Chains A and B, each alone.
Chain A
């Protein structure tokens, strides 16, 4: 189209020579953006007789909705669970760096911590849109402290809690505020959980089941009360058993209320889950799979010892252990690595791999189609990828925020 001043004042950008993820498939279509949203070019043509001010040649790239990471504990030396004075600086720092991995929105995650930490950290970070400063914050993911001692994983035992009577009020005492909280992970077998699950869900907070020894019926009960997510499936829960599948059984449960979907987080870093297990989950319930990094402080840093929450962890290659043990303490893979790894081991299509990192988390949080889709009117948070699903550029609200990623400080990247 001739490049000319368009009818409206806001500039219009047309991405050409690209394949876009739309309607569950890769389509050879141009993508139009105005005022930070995806624009309908047909309406622009007939209603406004307008056309593009700027054309971006994508060189055949794939354009997907920006990735959404709903479980990330920090990175590049920043630990979100540290009660420091400059939490918001730390969150901003990570928010800027993860743009390189194609992540345009995320939920900063806090592991089990004492109330002082929550009271200090939570008020410092509000839900806000992304931009040149970094990926957008969708709200905190509070992973704990209402979890099972038996399945605490790397969480510090002394700060675990049970529900006291008064349900939500007690939660408020522990957390301080729920205003900017998007997700709470809890163990549904803890007495008193039902009313908490219900009240949190009614407040619009996503309730996730994790770090739990619940059996399937306890898990189903929680879903009926409103729980809709499983925190890092397979990890920190009872293993699948054919007479009681536990939380894993939610993937194929027939007691999910009609019209509801149970989503499940998968850390597809090749370490937290055996590829065969990943495939079983994917095949059992493909539309619920949400890729998460569960990345920790050490992501992006060289090998050695680093702090996570109230504990010390050690990096060995691509593994991150609780120092002195073989307990996994979180992952250091990036979201784009997870997307590539997931595609490779599951044999799924490019479109499915991309949806697991964009559409599904958006649906989980109830923010689709504003996020997670490239529909007309959706936010123009985009990630441009090459054929191998490597990030070439990331856009927030239609503005380019980052070019090709800087290589991470890693030893062995083979397999990604």
Chain B
């Protein structure tokens, strides 16, 4: 894995956004060659989304030939509820950029047959040629998407009941009222994300530090599902100083020492004629 350590949240967000930008530009997407991106929700990626929007507004990046697949969505929450992940993606990302609606995919938590919806989502990913880059976050309990502790590390997209920790972490989006938080969600599986060509995990804040420690310094364990990515050939963890608080000094020093190499990945691309 690559562990990218930046000083603070803003710098981590910017680094991640530049990485995504460069990946898309290097891929040179076109009408017959879409770049497929897996996307997260939550407070961690907000800064990254803001930066990506900035790059689009500056004319440096277009999402015209990008297809997106979101990780998850609540079950039973109306799609236009302000806390649904559809609303989140619209307000924080889609409405500000030039992505086409038909190229976005978010699980529908209000269908009659939830498992069929999940199976269909998997097929759509396959039909799109698989995911080039899956961006995700990590929960305080070490989960990726809604793959709560105990989830199979080879799981696929399915319905999950949310853990108490997750419901409590989400309560702040529902006026602090636990009874208003949905208890079930549709989520991509650990196996689904493992199938991606590359995985990028964003982790910021001291409250995520223990989960990061468990994910990268301990073994692969279904109680900390992000640890599964130790077995993925191309994983990159982008974090801020606070998120490293539970790591060994040795680990942090090693990866900080590599920053001059890793920073090459986010250099501005050489200016070339726009291919759109």
- Asked if B67 is an interface residue, CB under 8 A from chain A, the answer is no
B79 within 8 A of A: yes
Q: Is the CB of B86 within 8 A of A2?
A: no
Q: Give chain A's interface residue range (CB within 8 Å of chain B).
A: 10 to 19
Q: Which of A46-54, A306-314, A332-340, A389-397 contacts B (4 or more CB under 8 A)?
A: A46-54
Contacts of B94 in A (CB 8 A): 45
- Counting CB contacts under 8 A, is A276 at the interface? no
> Is B95 in contact with A41, judged by CB distance below 8 angstroms?
yes
Q: Are B90 and A45 in contact (CB under 8 A)?
A: yes
Whether a CB of chain A sits under 8 angstroms from the CB of B98 is yes
A221 in the interface (beta carbon within 8 A): no
Residue from A2, A43, A48, A49 in contact with B80 in the complex, judged by beta carbons closer than 8 Å: A43
A51 proximity list for chain B (CB < 8 A): 100-101
If A30-B95, A49-B100 touch, whether A42 touches B87 (CB-CB below 8 Å) is: yes
**Interface residues in B208-234 (C-beta closer than 8 Å to A):** none
- Beta-carbon contacts of A1-37 to B below 8 Å, as 1s and 0s? 1100000000000000000000000000010000000
Mark out the residues of chain B between 27 and 72 whose CB falls within 8 Å of any chain A CB in the assembled complex.
64
A46 to B87, CA, bound (A): 10
- Interface: B102 (CB within 8 A): yes
Q: Which residues of B contact A40 (CB under 8 A)?
A: 80
Determine the chain A residues whose CB is within 8 A of the CB of B80 once the complex forms: 40, 42-43
Shortest Cβ distance from residue A196 to the other chain B in the assembled complex, whole angstroms: 46
- Chain B residues numbered 94-109 whose CB sits less than 8 Å from any CB in chain A: 94-95, 98, 100-102
Q: Which residues of A contact B87 (CB under 8 A)?
A: 42
**Bound: A75/B77 CA distance, A:** 54
> Given A42-B87, A46-B90, are A1 and B79 also a contact pair (CB < 8 Å)?
no
**Cα separation A48 to B100 with both chains bound (whole Å):** 11
Give A1 to B86 CA distance when docked, in angstroms.
18
Contact A42 B102 (CB under 8 A): no
Minimum C-beta distance from B56 to chain A (A): 11
A46 close to B98 (CB less than 8 A): no
A50→B101 CA distance, assembly (Å):
7
| Closest A residue to B106 using CB positions | A46
Contact digits for B78-94, partner A, Cβ 8 Å, 1 yes 0 no = 01100000110011001
B-facing residues in A157-196 (Cβ within 8 Å): none
Chain B proximity of A31: nearest CB distance (Å) = 12
1/0 per position for B256-271, CB-CB distance to A under 8 A?
0000000000000000
Smallest CB separation, A138 vs chain B (Å): 31
Residues of chain A within 8 A (CB-CB) of B95 are 30, 41-42, 45
The answer to whether B90 and A1 touch across the interface, beta carbons within 8 angstroms, is: no
With A2-B64, A30-B95: A42-B90 Cβ-Cβ less than 8 Å: yes
Q: Which residue in chain B gives the minimum CB-CB distance to A44?
A: B101
A49 x B102 contact (CB < 8 A): yes
Q: Which of A1, A42, A48, A50 contacts B98 (CB 8 A)?
A: A1
Closest residue on chain B to residue A3 by CB atoms:
B98
CB distance from B69 to the nearest CB of A (A): 15
Q: Closest A-chain residue to B79, C-beta based?
A: A46
Could you tell me the distance between the alpha carbons of A2 and B64 in the complex, rounded to whole angstroms?
A: 8
Please measure, in the bound complex, the distance between the C-alpha atom of A48 and the C-alpha atom of B86, giving whole angstroms. Answer: 14
In the complex, the answer to whether B86 meets A46 with C-beta atoms within 8 Å is: yes
Residues of B within 8 A of A1 (CB): 98
Task: Report chain A residues within 8 Å CB of B102.
Answer: 49
B101 in contact with A2 (CB, 8 Å): no
| Distance between Cα atoms of A370 and B87 in the complex (Å) | 25
Give the CA-CA distance A312 to B246 in the complex, in Å: 87
- Name the contact of A45 in the complex, choosing from B64, B98, B101 (C-beta under 8 A): B101
Known: A30-B95, A41-B95. A46 touches B64 (CB 8 A): no
User: Chain B residues with Cβ under 8 A from A42's Cβ?
Assistant: 80, 86-87, 90-91, 95
Inter-chain contacts of A49 with B (CB < 8 A): 100-102
A48 and B102 alpha carbons, distance in the complex (Å):
9
* Minimum C-beta distance from A44 to chain B (A): 8
CA distance in complex: A253, B91 (Å): 43
Q: How far is B95's CA from A242's CA once the two chains are assembled, in angstroms? A: 56
CA distance A43 to B80 in the complex (A): 8
Task: Tell me the bound Cα distance from A1 to B97 in angstroms.
Answer: 6
* Bound CA–CA A40/B100 (angstroms): 16
Residue of A whose beta carbon sits closest to that of B91: A42
Q: Which of A351-375 contact B (CB under 8 A)?
A: none
Q: How far apart sit A49 and B80, CA to CA, in the bound complex (Å)? A: 15
CB distance from A413 to the nearest CB of B (A): 39
A46 engages B101 (CB within 8 Å)? yes
Residues A2 and B90 in contact, CB atoms below 8 Å apart: no
10 A–B pairs (Cβ distance < 8 Å), ordered by A: A1-B98, A2-B64, A40-B80, A41-B90, A41-B95, A46-B90, A49-B101, A49-B102, A51-B100, A51-B101
9 closest residue pairs by CB, A with B? A49-B101, A42-B90, A45-B101, A49-B102, A2-B98, A1-B98, A46-B86, A2-B64, A45-B90
Residues of B within 8 A of A (CB): 64, 79-80, 86-87, 90-91, 94-95, 98, 100-102
Q: A51-B100, A51-B101 are in contact. List 20 more A-B contacts (CB 8 A).
A: A1-B98, A2-B64, A2-B98, A2-B100, A30-B95, A42-B80, A42-B86, A42-B87, A42-B90, A42-B91, A43-B80, A45-B90, A45-B94, A45-B101, A46-B79, A46-B86, A46-B101, A48-B101, A49-B101, A50-B101
